[in-house]
Amino acid sequence: MTSSNRNYPAALLETANIAGVSWGAIFAGAAGAAALSLILVLLGFGLGFSAVSPWSDSGVSAKGLGISTIVWLAFTQIVASGLGGYLAGRLRVKWSTLHGDEVYFRDTAHGFLAWAVATLVTATLVVGSVSSIVGGGLQAGASMTSGAASAVTQAASNEDNAYFVDSLFRDDHPAALTDEAARSAVFRIFARSLSKDGQLSAEDRTYLAQLIAARTNISQADAEARIDQVYAQARKTAEDAKVAAKNAADKAAKAAAWTTLWMFVALLCGAFFASFAATFGGRRRDAAVYLHDATLEREPYTTASNLPPAR
């Protein structure tokens, strides 16, 4: 036996024709969430800048700043998403003839959609701003990098050329060189040896020993021993600098990974609280008492026929 629309009450037909998604409420909640999120992020930036000090012995540490940033992002997501979800649930249309489970599902969906729209809008604005900044930075960085690369290449070429020129004028009487010229020659030999394979050639070692012996009144063997000791220290310093740079890069990569993971957790918290707040706002919406309904319960409907005559 089939049934037609005539078998259903008018209220059921009206409810069936109402859309299950109140986009106006969702966009209103998303706008509120995005605005509050922006305010809280700016407040967090201000608090962070006030806590950071350029002096190493004052202000919050880098670890403390990272932890406080993650906590503040999570707090921002929870508060802003909760507000957006509550607005989406409170402002949606009333489904008076639906089952409670269906109303609960729709309220949860409204809160989640409000969070999703707010997140997408915020991400679009942030990515747009960052892209413009990064685009200009990349353009400037490319020119600076090309200039720096050219400068480094030119400097390396100049150092090599100076080293080879010094090799042309080496003789068996290094004592004739001035102190400034001798120090410059030693610097160029060290710089080229450390930048290449890190090994000091036998010719350079012998020439440096002659320079040292002529100016310090020590034997050739003692000068070579001193050169080996000093060059080993210089080589160790260079290797330590490379290791420190590598460790700093590893720490930065790990910090970026942990920050991304905690941002993911914060976004999940925002989605949950937005959905939960929407259900709470929806219950408050359904519990609202309309003034015209209460008036109808207390007083009869007033028409023009029973109004008192105008004076």
Domain membership of residue 168 as a residue range: 151-242
Residue 42 has a pLDDT of: 84
More confident residue, 255 or 27: 27
Q: Is residue 253 part of a domain?
A: no
| Lowest pLDDT segment from 158-162, 173-177, 194-198, 276-280 | 158-162
Q: Is residue 1 part of a domain?
A: no
Phi, psi of 128 (to 5 degrees): -65, -45
- C-alpha 249/C-alpha 290 separation (Å) is 63
| pLDDT of 1 strictly over 50 | no
Kindly report the average pLDDT of the chain as a whole number: 74
Residues 188-244 have pLDDT tens digits of: 887 777 777 777 888 888 888 888 888 788 888 888 888 888 888 888 888 888 888
Contact 87, 28 (CB under 8 A): yes
Q: Is residue 309 part of a domain?
A: no
Give the pLDDT band of residue 18 (cuts 50, 70, 90): low
| pLDDT of 303 strictly over 50 | no
Residue 275 has a pLDDT of: 92
129 & 274 share domain: yes
State the average pLDDT over residues 4-21.
Answer: 55
Instruction: Tell me which DSSP letter residue 174 carries.
Output: G
Q: Is residue 158 part of a domain?
A: yes
48 & 130 share domain: yes
136 & 155 share domain: no
Q: Is residue 299 part of a domain?
A: no
Q: Is residue 269 part of a domain?
A: yes
Residue 268 has a pLDDT of: 92
87 & 188 share domain: no
159 & 127 share domain: no
208 & 277 share domain: no
Give the pLDDT band of residue 134 (cuts 50, 70, 90): very low
H/E stretch holding 72: helix 62-91
108 & 193 share domain: no
| Residue-wise burial string across 137-170, b where 16 or more C-beta atoms lie within 10 A, e elsewhere | eeeeeeeeeeeeeeeeeeeeeeeeebbeebeeeb
Give the pLDDT band of residue 269 (cuts 50, 70, 90): very high
- Mean pLDDT comparison of 126-130, 260-264, 285-289, highest-scoring range: 260-264
94 & 127 share domain: yes
36 & 183 share domain: no
Residue 83 has a pLDDT of: 93
Residue 303 structure tokens? 């028409």
- C-alpha 291/C-alpha 153 separation (Å) is 82
| pLDDT of 132 strictly over 70 | no
More confident residue, 133 or 255: 255
Instruction: Tell me which DSSP letter residue 53 carries.
Output: -
Residues 141-163 have pLDDT tens digits of: 555 555 544 544 454 555 555 66
95 & 44 share domain: yes
Instruction: Tell me which DSSP letter residue 57 carries.
Output: T
Q: Is residue 171 part of a domain?
A: yes
Comparing C-alpha atoms, which of 263, 294, 271 is closest to residue 29? 271
- C-alpha 230/C-alpha 212 separation (Å) is 12
Q: Is residue 175 part of a domain?
A: yes
Number of domains in the chain: 2
66 & 210 share domain: no
Residues 71-92 have pLDDT tens digits of: 888 899 999 999 999 999 888 8
- Residue that is last in its domain, among 210, 242, 274: 242
136 & 218 share domain: no
| pLDDT of 140 strictly over 60 | no
